[in-house]
Structure 1
Amino acid sequence: MPPRQDRSLFEAIALSNVQRYYRLTWQKPAKIESGQIWQFSARMKGISSIQNQGGFNQQKYFISQHIVAKGRVKQAELISSNTSVRKYIMDRTLPILHRLPQGDILQALIFGDKRELDDARWQQLRQTGAGHLVAISGLHLSVVFGLFYGVLMLCSRIFSAQQHGRKAQVIMLVAALITLGYGYLSGFGIATQRALLMMLLLVIFSVVKQFSHSWDRLLYALFFVLLLDPIAILSAGLWLSFLALAIILLAVKPQSFTPPSASMHTEVAVSNIRQRLLIKGREMASYLLNAVNTLWSIQWRLALGLGGLQAILFGTLTPHSIWLNLLFVPWFSVVVIPLTMLSFCLWLLSSTLLSIIGIEQQVIENIGTTILTLADVSLVPFVELLHVSDHLPWALLPITEPSLAAVLFVLIALILVYLRPHLAVDKRIIRYCLVILCLPVGAHLLGAIQRSDEPNHQYNDVWQMHVLDVAQGMAIVVQQSNHGIIYDTGAAFGEFSYAKRAILPFLVSRGITDIDYIIVSHDDNDHVGGLTVLSDAFPASQLIADFSLADHTDRSLSQRCQGNLSWHGLNMHFIDNQLLNGNDNNNSCVMRLSDGNTRVLLAGDIETLREQSLLQTQADVEADIIFVPHHGSRTSSTPAFIDVVNPELAIVTAGFANQYGFPKSDVMARYQQRDISSLQTGHVGQISITFTEKGYKIATYRQHLAPFWYNHLFKFGESLKAE
């Protein structure tokens, strides 16, 4: 993979015509406020991040948000400070919102500021599929535009008897400006900018009276969004927004919204007022029933379509989102958003007038609390349903990649069935296509049944080893069907753990439900950091290590790193440590894994003394694949040790541009001089090796599993540092 080509592709195509941002970490930050201009001295590095199946693709997210580099602030100087209108309004409003029970949600709805939403709230939003309701998007902007357009039209009819098209166009422009102001208050997030662009296109088409179909406007909006921001194609929000609009256009038919007034003008020969009222009542009931049917028609299609897309993008399904959003979306559209915006505008006007008069700030805040309480109360039913979702079964279902593929094929089959009457294709061809599309789900179900009936002693001839990219650390998963072994658990830093970030999502994506053994090589954070998380996630697993686990879990060791274990046809041979008084690295658990055809040596962080000990005791360390000891440090991989192991492939578990400069170039030269191929997780991402009777096959994440341009390695920030 030529790094220069990758970098030029990224710079020339991806970010050449868009705003660029930098993500900075400040360990002891000063008070930062909107409107300030700072000059930073920061240590920068590229956006290349860990790459594994199932995990969050931070690198792709950075690119979609126009973030071109990340770094750590070393020095900072405040250049100037200008109070913006948005900051002034926020400073006056946030103290009031903090008093209200649902102030965190109101803060997100008004200012697009989601910092007050805690982890529990986010979990509730995820499991109900309601996260889009607190993130300002096309729904919010459409409601605000429609609200003020309706209010202004009503006022114009009250104060002016003359109505003409020019007045309606002026009102539409004013409503668009108000909506633009709402976008400014929300911080002009990227998703908000796209929604505003779509709204402005609609207004422009309406003002110039240019005829265009709804599908035309949707395509125009997509064209201009991608013209102004080509990398918006990587954003999940773009796909969700445009898919939602496409589903609505497919579900809604023009006749579905025939207002009752259209039939009320029909001349009906009735002389009885009661009969006339009865007819109008029936018409109104029919209209309401039609509206409910249309809403249901839209909602179930949105739930299936967006649910499928969310499964693809995020690897989870939210079954309850169908009926919950059937309640949430109308409630937010008709009640919550209008009340919130009207209350906020009323508060803004009243606070301005009271400040001019000279009323005390405390009194103004009390009045603001009273005004915004109405908006807060409107959120009570929503919050109560969020709490109910904590007790619902199957609230958030992770989905494996094979299951997802099977479900998608079934959805394509259902679409084909729906479109069959309109296709000029032979029915036999359609039947064959339906059978082929349903084969994956049938095979998946059959495999699940076979696994459930399969005795524990049976195993497959094919097994896999997955070397996960956990930055500067080690995490290896051995897989046989839905069973697995974990060797080392990656690092953890405070609340952050690579076990949560990478290992658990990977296990879900691969359908690994049973972890039989968790082996920890030694007591260093980059190897044992995720043990607490994994031990809790798999309480039935057996723990193997050569040190006390008391600092990491309440569970006790199942055995030490000694002897042999047989697991699903594989032999795990633990090589005894004959080195006395070795340091922590040299006490690493050394294991050789073999299926009778291929041998893999996992050496942990052993150093020169332990390597010499293994050679002196004539330990059987010969292997086809070796995990380079101590991440490629100069303290390991002596020439004599490499010669005895005599591997074909050397795998280095080291993060890209890590602070230690691992692996060292002179160490890797020893392997290259012996014609030993090498791979580094920090460069190629996850490494998956499939073993069969004929040998093994290698697939890496960046080059084979997901070889997309945004997953390439961007080498900005790479440097070699002293050990």
Structure 2
Amino acid sequence: MKYFLIGWLFTLMSSLIWPTLPSVFLLMGCLVVSILCIKHYPFVTGCCLALCWLSWQAHTYQKAVYQLSLSGRYHSIEGTVTAVSKNTYRQHFLLKINQIDQTTVSLFSHRMIRLSQYHRNHQPLTDLNIGDRVLVRASLKPAHASLDQGIFNYQRALVAQNIIALGTTYNITIQTVSTSYRSQLIKRLQTAFQNIPQASVMQALTTGIKSDIPYRERQLWMQAGVGHLLAISGLHLGILAFWGGLLGRLCSRFLPFKWRIWCEMLGAILCALGYGSLAGWPVSAQRAMIMLLIWLMVRRCWLWISHLDCWLIAIFGVTLLWPLSILSGGLWLSFGAILLIYFLLWLCPWSGWRRLLFLQMGLWIGLLPLQVSLFGYISWLALPLNLVAIPLFSFVIIPLLLLGVISLVLGGSFATLFFSPVGIILSLLNKALFIVFAQVPVMVPVPKATGLLFSLILIIGLCGLAKPHRRWWIALSIWLLWPAKPALLDGWWVHFLDVGQGLAVVVESNHHAILYDTAARYPSGFSYARSVIQPFLMDRGDLTVDKIILSHADNDHAGGYPFLRRHYPEAQVIRGADPRFKTHNCQGNYHWQQLVLTLIQPEVVAGHVNDQSCMLLISDGFHRILLTGDIEKDAEDWWVLHRWQQVDGISVPHHGSQTSSSSIWLKQLQPHWAVASSGFLNAYHLPAASVVERYRKLHIPFYNTAMLGQVSVHLYTSGSDLVSYRKDIAPFWYNRGFLLENSHGSGW
């Protein structure tokens, strides 16, 4: 059995790096092999069955995305709300599909759509609650996300959550308001939480609804390394199961011994089930419940199997029910933490408080590689904060909230007596976090390679601490710490980042960088500068930003400037002649990192403000790259009359609009390649099909970040290489997209 489970898990883990999904014929062959090997080769059977099960689920997911894309953009969807998140400007919600366009399609049934509703004409947002059955008129796009180095892989998260489309609503009709006991209890809890400090955090801890927690406060908890305490997870369910088991044991004191065990187990299960139901059963709680049930059955039914076997059975159960969840970072964090606890218990030579300290230290260190890989930073205060916060939540906050909920269910008026102390404690904890955050940098962004090496050193050091007689632990740790000069690739890079309908280009040379445009920032607070540009710079080795060039003042080009200015105050700022800028200094030549930078300001008197874009010509004596901003035909005509220079590559002007990329301009430049930065299926229909065709007729390879993700060009003395995120950097099946072959301008 163990070998079957190991084979199952091994194959599912390998799916993270599959370039494509196996064909139907290969899956049929694997199914036959699994039957033939079921008796003597359980590992092979586990591998083959996992391959078939995951591939079938992934194929049906891709087919659902593709079929929805063929059915047009505007749809009428009937479904059930499963999650809601609100702020001042908009609300996001997940909708489980029942019908699309008044038709039940089995391929779409029980799949998810992530929808957004925005304030329009001062109309209030629809008051949606989990469990409501609604009819929505929306504009949909197939599930798709920006992909760049160093950022959170939202594309993979969409697949893991079975979300087949993203959309914007135009009309929402609530057909049936949820009348479940859970929704009624949530309303009673919200009433009870009124006038109590930190009511939003208490609501998150009891019901799983985190949307009311202010963004700044939620980010503070996350960056301090205690954000996991706000999300319903295995820790919370385990705490409730512990107290439920203890309550069951107290209630069965006068029963025969054989009944006490069952009462303890029943108390643990009932408390965990009640808590999970109140929280709406998020995926993390479902995983934890399966793990708890398996553990209780194994330990309380005298099935003596190892901790590893119990862990394997649990992860098998979860991935059998939700095979695509193997792509979820949450699954790896939760099951990785459990496996790490088993390892630390085996490793730890101490008992008592030193054992608990070692476990907490080991969890922080052991999960660092996952934290760095997923989020790109290390919270150095996470260890001391968790040493305080986890016992506080386990023995004070969660039990008091449990007693308050029980009091409310029983109709008592004592719930406030339990909730008020919790509000005071959470308020003091929140104030302490703000004070610490104001004094010292709690979050330390690190390049992934550096962070992973640092994590490995700490893990080896921890093992050496627990097993000091094995001196080779310490020797290996010292060897890893020995300073070594990092190898640098010859030449320089131009990175066209995937920032939706906007532009952000990073020119990299000798660990320094120039930013050409900063992409968009939105009223909701979302900024590509924060979510894409800064993480990318960190992932490339924490590049030093020397210059920030703003071609013109449109939001999709200059929106991220305030954020980047705060983080890189030493960088020189160069602005184009856009009249919306108070000053402009786009002129002259600069020698920078063995490159020559030529700032070009088109001298266009009458014309669109786009023609005032500051252009940048980069040369190393062998190659010339031209970054064009949003110039249009007037600026292109000026270039033809005054510049007469050929280049190796260009950024496609104005995202590929019909008012730019004139034939005479392209014929004069004769670029070897062109990169367009545009949003996936954007409302402007850019790049225009006629423009893409113009490049094709002139035999200029055309690349589109909307289709390929980040596009990077490596230039060196003897030539150049062009790579893209989806095709070359991370060419995995869930990243490659499902519509590339059907979309113009993909570059494939």
Question: Structure 2-normalised TM-score?
Answer: 0.80
Residues 651, 680 of structure 1: 8 Å contact kept: yes
Quick one: structure 1 residues 4 and 148, their matched pair in 2 at CA, closer, same or farther if it must change by over 3 Å? closer
Residue by residue over 1:202-235, the C-alpha shift from the partner in whole angstroms, topping out at 9 and shown as x without a partner, is 2222453322222211111011111111122222
1:99 maps to which residue? 195
Q: Provide the aligned length of Structure 1 versus Structure 2.
A: 648
Partner of 2:394: 333
Amino acid at match of 2:400: L
User: Which residue is equivalent to 1:463?
Assistant: 492
Deviation of the 1:579 alpha carbon: 2.6
- Which structure 2 residues correspond to residues 162-181 of structure 1 after superposition, within 5 A? 162-181=255-274
The Cα shift of 1:349 comes to 1.3
Q: Which amino acid aligns with 1:236?
A: G
Q: Tell me the secondary structure at the aligned position of residue 304 of structure 1.
A: helix
Note the alpha carbon deviations across 1:303-361, whole angstroms, 9 max, x for none.
1012332112110101111122112112221222122212321232133xxxxxxxxxx
Conservation of the 8 A alpha-carbon contact between 1:489 and 1:499: yes
Which residue does the alignment assign to 2:60?
A: 12
Coordinate RMSD, CA, aligned = 3.3
1:620 to 1:561, Cα distance in 2 relative to 1, 3 A: farther
Partners of 2:664 and 2:214 in 1: CA distance: 55
The code of the aligned residue for 2:619 comes to S
Partner-residue secondary structure (3-state), 1:709:
coil
Specify which of 354, 362, 385 is matched with residue 324 of structure 1.
385
Selected match of 2:586 from 561, 565, 586: 561
Q: 2:155 — aligned with what?
A: 59
Aligned letter for 2:434? H
Q: After TM superposition, give the deviation of residue 177 of structure 1 in Å.
A: 2.4
Which residue pairs with 2:705 in the alignment?
681
Given candidates 739, 744, 747, the residue that maps to 1:715 is 739
Correspondence for 1:150: 246
Query: What's 1:23 paired with?
Result: 114
Closer, same or farther: CA 41–250 of 1 in aligned 2, 3 Å: same
Please report how far the alpha carbon of residue 51 of structure 1 lies from its aligned counterpart in structure 2 after TM superposition.
0.8
* SS in structure 2 of the partner of residue 76 of structure 1: strand
The answer as to whether partners of 1:409 and 1:437 remain within 8 angstroms in 2 is: no
Tell me if structure 2 keeps the 8 A contact 1:307–1:318: no
Amino acid at match of 2:560: G
Instruction: Give the one of 458, 464, 483 matched to 1:442.
Output: 483
Aligned to 1:309: 370
- The corresponding residue for 1:73 is 169
Contact 2:587 2:600 in 1 (8 A): yes
Query: CA 1:437 to 1:419, structure 2 compared with 1: closer, same or farther past 3 Å?
Result: farther
Going from structure 1 to structure 2, the CA distance change for 1:384 and 1:608 (only over 3 Å counts) comes to closer
In structure 1, the residue matched to 2:631 is 606
* Aligned equivalents of 1:442, 1:406: Cα separation in 2: 12
Distance in 1 between residues matched to 2:701 and 2:460, nearest whole Å: 44
Alignment of 1:390-401 (within 5 A): 390-401=437-448
1:595 partnered with 2:629: no
Question: Do 1:37 and 1:81's aligned partners in 2 also have CA atoms closer than 8 Å?
Answer: yes
Cα displacement string for residues 150-192 of structure 1 (whole angstroms, at most 9, x for unaligned residues): 11211221xx2x4232442144124302311110001100101
Q: Deviations over 1:556-578 (max 9, x none)?
A: 74x52222222121111233423
Change (3 A) 1:575 1:110: closer
Letter in 2 for 1:596: G
Q: Which moved more, 1:379-388 or 1:691-700?
A: 379-388
- Structure 1 unaligned segments of length 5 or more: list them: 257-288, 352-363, 449-458
Amino acid at match of 1:476: V
Q: Is the 8 A contact 1:343 1:374 kept in 2?
A: no
Q: 1-side partners of 2:267 and 2:249: how far apart?
A: 11
Q: Name the counterpart of 2:70.
A: none
Q: 1:437 to 1:52 in 2, by over 3 A?
A: farther
Deviation, structure 1 residue 35: 3.7
Contact 1:521 1:588 in 2 (8 A): yes
Q: 1:175 is aligned with what amino acid?
A: A
The 1:422–1:716 alpha-carbon spacing in structure 2 relative to 1, beyond 3 Å, is farther
In structure 2, how many angstroms separate the alpha carbons of the residues matched to 1:3 and 1:635?
41
SS in 2 for 1:623: coil
Aligned residue for 1:252? 345
- Per mean C-alpha deviation after superposition, the further-off stretch among 403-412 and 125-134 is 403-412
Structure 2 equivalent of residue 626 of structure 1: 650
Q: Looking at CA atoms only, which structure, 1 or 2, has the larger radius of gyration?
A: 1
Partner of 2:682: 658
Give the Å deviation of 1:68. Answer: 1.5
Question: 1:616 & 1:9 partners in 2: Cα distance?
Answer: 58
Q: Map 1:94-493; keep pairs closer than 5 Å.
A: 94-157=190-253, 160=254, 162-252=255-345, 290-351=351-412, 364=413, 367-379=414-426, 382-410=429-457, 414=461, 434=476, 438=480, 442-443=483-484, 446=485, 462-493=491-522
Contact 2:290-2:318 at 8 Å conserved across structures: yes
Deviating more after overlay: 56-65 vs 588-597: 56-65
SS in 2 for 1:586: helix
SS at structure 2 position matched to 1:547: coil
**How far is the alpha carbon of 1:108 from its aligned partner?**
1.3
CA–CA distance in structure 1, aligned partners of residues 23 and 597 of structure 2: 42
Counterpart CA distance in 2 for 1:18 and 1:239 is 27
Which amino acid in 2 is paired with 1:685? Answer: G
Deviates further, 583-592 or 194-203: 583-592
- Would the alpha carbon gap of residues 371 and 321 (structure 1) be closer, same or farther in structure 2, given more than 3 Å must change? closer
Instruction: Specify which of 585, 609, 616 is matched with residue 610 of structure 2.
Output: 585
Aligned to 1:541: 571
> What TM-score results when the alignment is normalised by the length of structure 1?
0.82
User: Does the 8 Å contact 1:477/1:484 carry over to 2?
Assistant: yes
462-471 vs 370-379, greater mean Cα deviation: 370-379
Contact 2:61–2:164, Cα closer than 8 Å, also in 1: no
Assess, with a 3 A threshold, how the Cα gap between structure 1 residues 203 and 19 changes in structure 2: closer, same or farther. Answer: farther
Give unmatched runs, 5+ long, in structure 2. Answer: 1-18, 25-54, 65-106, 120-124
Query: Which amino acid in 1 is paired with 2:230?
Result: V
The answer on whether the counterparts of 1:38 and 1:79 sit within 8 Å (CA) in structure 2 is yes
Partner AA of 2:144 in structure 1: S
Query: What's the secondary structure of 1:496's corresponding residue?
Result: coil
Distance 2:108 2:135 in 1: 24
Task: Give the 3 Å change call, closer, same or farther, for CA 345–219 of structure 1 in structure 2.
Answer: same
Q: In 2, distance between residues paired with 1:673 and 1:10?
A: 37
The code of the aligned residue for 1:541 comes to A
**In the superposition, relative to structure 1, how do residues 74 and 576 fare at CA in structure 2: closer, same or farther (>3 Å)?**
closer
Q: Which has the higher contact order (CA 8 A, sep 6+)?
A: 1
Distance 1:312 1:18, change over 3 A: farther
What CA distance in whole angstroms lies between the structure 2 residues aligned with 1:346 and 1:665?
64
Is 1:571 paired with 2:596? yes
Deviates more, 1:489-498 or 1:593-602: 489-498
- In 2, Cα distance between equivalents of 1:255 and 1:643: 71
Do the aligned partners of 1:627 and 1:650 also contact (CA within 8 Å) in 2?
A: yes
What amino acid is the match of 1:370? L
Query: For the Cα contact (< 8 Å) 1:315–1:398, is it kept in 2?
Result: yes
Deviations 1:120-143 (A, max 9, x none): 322331232111112111111111
- Shift in alpha-carbon separation, 1:550–1:149, aligned structure 2, 3 A: same
Tell me how far apart the structure 2 counterparts of residues 324 and 629 of structure 1 sit (CA, whole Å).
Answer: 50
Instruction: Evaluate the alpha carbon distance shift between residue 11 and residue 248 of structure 1 in structure 2; reply closer, same or farther with a 3 A threshold.
Output: same
Structure-2 separation of matches of 1:706 and 1:254: 36
CA distance in 2, matches of 1:629, 1:602: 8
The alpha carbon displacement at 1:389 in A equals 2.8
Residue 726 (structure 2) aligns with: 702
CA distance in 2, matches of 1:212, 1:377: 44
